[in-house]
C-alpha cells in the first residue's frame, strides 16, 4: 500500500511539474503579452517573425523579434562544398539552392518533432514532393530540407532520391539560419553569393517566387 501511495505521489508530482513548464509570449521590446495578443502583433509587426528559445525549466519563450527577411553575401564555393558533404552529391557551379531549414525543439506541429516517425516523414514528403518537382522542373534550382543536428531522421541519405538531410555539424545553423523561428526558415543561395533568408512558416513554391528578377533585384538593391 505504501509503495502504491509513493508511486501515486511521484506520478502526481511529475505530472504537475510537466504541466508547470511555462510558455512566455513577448513583444519585440521584451514585454510579456498574452497568447491571444500575439495574433495582433502579426499585423503590427509585419517585418518580424516569431522566434523561440527554451528556458531552464524546459518551457519556451516566444518573441516577435526575428527578422522576417535577411540578406547575405556568402562564399558560394564554401556553401556548395558543405552541401555536397551533407548530401554526398556533386552539383554544378550554376546551381541555386533552395533550403528549408528545420530547428531543434520547434513546437510548430507534429512535423517538427525531435524524432520523426516513418509515418510523419512520409506525410511530409507527400506534401512536399509535387512542390519540389514544380520548382526543379526545367530550372537550375535544387530543393533540400535540412534538419538541425539532434533531430532524428528516418531518411535514406544514400538514396539519389533523398532530399531530407541532417545538418550534422550545424554548419548552416551556425552560419545562415541564425534565428530559431517557429515553423522553420527558408533560404535561397545563388552562385554569385547573394543569399535570402525568410524566417517563419512558408511554402517552398512561394520562396521560389522570390527568384523572379523584379523581386530579387528589388530586395538586393536596397
In this predicted model, what pLDDT tens digit does every residue of 162-198 receive, in sequence order? 999 999 899 999 999 999 999 999 999 999 999 999 9
User: Residue 73 and residue 68: Cα distance in Å, rounded?
Assistant: 17
Say what the pTM is.
0.85
CATH code of 69-221, in short, is: 3.40.30.10
Q: Is residue 2 scored above 80 in pLDDT?
A: no
Q: How far are the Cα atoms of 11, 19, 190 from residue 8, in angstroms, in the given order? A: 5, 16, 59
- Going by their DSSP bridges, the two strands 96-102 and 141-148 should be labelled as parallel
Q: Sketch the domain layout of the chain as residue ranges.
A: 19-67, 69-221
Percent of the chain exceeding pLDDT 90 equals 58
In degrees and rounded to multiples of 5, residue 12 shows phi and psi of: -65, -45
Amino acid at each position: 500500500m505504501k509503495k502504491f501511495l509513493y508511486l501515486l505521489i511521484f506520478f502526481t508530482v511529475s505530472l504537475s511539474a510537466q504541466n508547470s513548464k511555462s510558455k512566455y509570449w513577448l513583444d519585440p521590446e521584451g514585454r510579456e503579452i498574452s497568447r491571444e495578443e500575439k495574433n495582433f502583433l502579426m499585423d503590427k509587426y509585419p517585418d518580424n517573425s516569431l522566434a523561440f528559445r527554451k528556458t531552464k525549466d524546459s518551457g519556451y519563450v516566444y518573441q516577435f523579434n526575428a527578422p522576417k527577411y535577411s540578406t547575405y553575401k556568402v562564399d558560394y564555393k564554401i556553401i556548395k562544398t558543405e552541401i555536397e558533404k551533407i548530401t554526398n552529391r556533386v552539383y554544378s557551379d550554376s546551381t541555386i539552392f533552395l533550403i528549408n531549414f528545420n530547428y531543434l525543439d520547434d513546437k510548430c506541429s507534429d512535423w517538427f518533432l525531435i524524432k520523426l516517425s516513418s509515418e510523419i516523414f512520409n506525410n511530409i514528403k507527400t506534401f512536399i514532393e509535387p512542390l519540389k518537382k514544380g520548382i526543379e522542373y526545367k530550372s537550375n534550382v535544387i530543393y533540400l530540407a535540412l534538419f538541425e543536428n539532434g533531430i532524428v531522421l528516418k531518411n535514406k541519405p544514400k538514396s539519389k532520391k533523398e532530399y531530407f538531410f541532417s545538418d550534422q555539424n550545424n554548419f548552416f545553423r551556425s552560419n545562415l539560419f541564425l534565428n530559431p523561428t517557429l515553423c522553420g526558415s527558408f533560404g535561397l543561395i545563388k552562385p554569385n553569393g547573394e543569399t535570402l533568408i525568410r524566417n517563419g512558416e512558408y511554402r517552398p513554391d512561394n520562396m521560389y517566387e522570390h527568384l523572379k528578377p523584379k523581386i530579387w533585384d528589388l530586395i538586393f538593391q536596397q
